[in-house]
Amino acid sequence: MKNKRIQSLLVVLIALGLIVAGCGGAGGDKKPAAADNKAPIKIGFFAPVTGPAAADGDSVTKAAKLAVEKINKDGGINGRKVELVAYDDNLKPQEAVSIAQKLTTKDGVVAAVSGSYSHTTRAAAPIFENAKIPMIAAYALHPDITKGGDYVFRQSFVGTAQGKAGGYVAVDMLKAKTIAILNVDNDFGTTLADSFTQYVESKGAKVVSRDKFTMVEKEFNPVLTKIKQLKPDLIYMPTYSGTGAQIARQAKELNLGIQMLGTEGIDSTMEFLKVSGPTADGIIITTNLNRNSKLKATQDFIKDYTAMAGHAPDMVAASTYDCFMVLAESMRKNGAEPDKIKDGIYKIKDFEAATGLIKGYNKLGEVTKNVQVQVIKNGAFTYYGEISDPAIITPPDK
């Protein structure tokens, strides 16, 4: 009897193990591409298609497909087609590591794009570095990601730059003197809140409170009630759309009447704007997608993405799309081998992309471009300002 019990327990465990293992890879066995000139060029990609960030995973996967389609429609890379090798990392670092290993050893990709968050991208970055395969992080913002070596690049602002830009908006543009911070408790929220604090305090403003929460939190009434008593001029909230939408709604219900400043984390048309509805009006964010930009690359991207997805794009989609465009630009000009792609990215100057004019990449692989400030007006992200001050937007190079 007891044996039978253990047996059945084992069977269940093995079955579960198989299920978990099965979830890992959607790619299957892929042999490295032959080095002939007709074979498609493979670009690796990973994103949190399942798990708590599945909405972002969905956005970036659509953007990656759109980008590859566009590159191929424009003639591919000097006649060769580009092929996407995409995986789901479930927002788990261990998954990201095994995906990076698969991409660099089995799949024969010449470059890769991370459409995932900071902690997963950080785990995967050293593997690409060691394999000498260039990787661009689309929107992960932790400073350590690019520090491993020169094969790892970043397409959006490093957290320290965006935090500083947030500080600039708060004290220089909005003249806030007292500020409350509400940040999601992970790499993203902590990096932004820390560099924001550093900047605003250096300008003489005061951070009166700092509260943190997990990315699945929904109940902000206790902490907003507390903040209401402190009467700050501004609330800075580096967090994502799910939590950000609840902060917006509950602040409105509590009649808070305090200006709120968000980040690219709530730059989400589906999740943030729809759930928060009219309560989001007036919230200002720092991001890299300027919806009112005159750049053709931006307007084309917004049009194509909307036609494909049935809704307007968010910044994670735009950043991911740009990674592929940068890779394509580098490959067209410099060749489609990993080393040449890497060198080509460093040579890029003043490249028109969906997220604005890319001035170039520094020796760490950090991008330099203007920070966009958008305000939510009548349920849509709209131009509020643009930060081009080199003191704010220049990323660190060590």
Site map 290..329 versus another protein, x via CB under 8 A: ----------------------------------------
> Of the ranges 128-136, 140-148, 220-228, 378-386, which one interacts with another protein (CB under 8 A)?
220-228
Which of 216, 292, 363, 382 is the binder for another protein (CB under 8 A)? 216
Contact between 374 and 280 under an 8 Å Cβ cutoff? The reply is no
Told to check if 89 binds another protein by CB under 8 A, we report: no
* Per-position b or e across 162-188, b if 16+ CB within 10 A of its CB: bbbbbbbbbbeeeebebbbbbbbebbb
**For another protein, the closer CB: 185 or 339:** 185
**For another protein, the closer CB: 61 or 146:** 61
Burial (CB count within 10 angstroms: exposed 0-12, middle 13-18, buried 19+), residue 372: buried
Told to check if 343 binds another protein by CB under 8 A, we report: no
Which of 125, 137, 169, 245 is the binder for another protein (CB under 8 A)? 245
Contact between 89 and 125 under an 8 Å Cβ cutoff? The reply is no
Told to check if 225 binds another protein by CB under 8 A, we report: yes
Name the residue among 223, 230, 372, 218 with its Cα closest to residue 295. Answer: 372
Q: How far is the CB of 226 from another protein (least distance, A)?
A: 5
> Of the ranges 48-56, 168-176, 190-198, 281-289, which one interacts with another protein (CB under 8 A)?
48-56
Name the residue among 272, 275, 301, 307 with its Cα closest to residue 289. Answer: 301
* Helix, coil or strand: residue 158: coil
Distance CA 18, CA 14 (A): 6
Q: How far is the CB of 186 from another protein (least distance, A)?
A: 10
Told to check if 344 binds another protein by CB under 8 A, we report: no
Q: How many residues bind another protein (CB under 8 A)?
A: 46
Name the residue among 136, 159, 119, 142 with its Cα closest to residue 321. Answer: 136
Which of 41, 44, 46, 55 is the binder for another protein (CB under 8 A)? 55
3-state helix vs strand vs coil in the chain, percent to 5: 50, 20, 30
Q: How far is the CB of 118 from another protein (least distance, A)?
A: 17
Q: How far is the CB of 192 from another protein (least distance, A)?
A: 16
Name the residue among 192, 238, 168, 204 with its Cα closest to residue 389. Answer: 168
Told to check if 391 binds another protein by CB under 8 A, we report: no
* Helix, coil or strand: residue 110: coil
Which of 58, 83, 172, 201 is the binder for another protein (CB under 8 A)? 58
Told to check if 253 binds another protein by CB under 8 A, we report: yes
Q: Which of residues 132-191 bind another protein (CB under 8 A)?
A: 185
- E-strand ranges in 248-379 read 259-262, 284-287, 351-353, 356-358, 360-361, 367-368, 371-377
Told to check if 18 binds another protein by CB under 8 A, we report: no
Name the residue among 223, 161, 168, 220 with its Cα closest to residue 192. Answer: 161
Query: Could you give the angle at the alpha carbon of 121 between the alpha carbons of 117 and 124, nearest 5°?
Result: 155
**For another protein, the closer CB: 63 or 348:** 63
Told to check if 208 binds another protein by CB under 8 A, we report: no
User: Measured between alpha carbons, how far apart are the two ends of the chain, in Å?
Assistant: 64
**For another protein, the closer CB: 83 or 185:** 185
> Of the ranges 3-11, 145-153, 287-295, 318-326, which one interacts with another protein (CB under 8 A)?
3-11
**For another protein, the closer CB: 254 or 357:** 254
